[in-house]
Amino acid sequence: MYGAILPVEIDKQRHYARKRFFNALQRDGILVCQGYCYQSDGRLVQKGVDMLMDLDLYALGQQQYQLLFVFSGDSDFISAIHRARKNNSKVIAILRDNQPAGMMKEHVDAVVSLENIISLINDEHIVHRSKNNNNQIT
């Protein structure tokens, strides 16, 4: 899992919610790689996360993993994907059906629909999110 935790001084509730989420993932044995987050001109900016993912894609390709799954349509990962494929790893992009991601689709070995994966999961295992009055996901 790649992400960043919002600084507590910007939004205490979201900071601790994200921290609990990352801690829960780690308790389940999932590696969490964190970049950092700050506020600029009223917008939240996440930094370092893409670079961490690029480095891991490259390293996993070097270790010759047969399959690498990328849950992103971000074209920033294409160079790392090329390196992984050069080392005989197959790279599969998991994308939403309505996600444009045209460049990503051209550079991976296959694309799998996130909606199709979700449809295979029993509803009791899915955590449904909702938006609060500030249009923030809770």
For the chain, domain boundaries: 1-47, 64-125
Structural tokens at position 97: 């059906």
Strands (E), the chain: 2-3, 33-34, 36-40, 43-47, 67-70, 90-95, 110-113
Q: Provide the percentage of residues in the chain whose pLDDT is more than 70.
A: 93
Per-residue pLDDT tens over the stretch 44-67: 888 989 899 999 999 999 998 999
Tokens 């480095």 appear where?
Answer: 55
pTM of the predicted model, to two decimals?
0.74
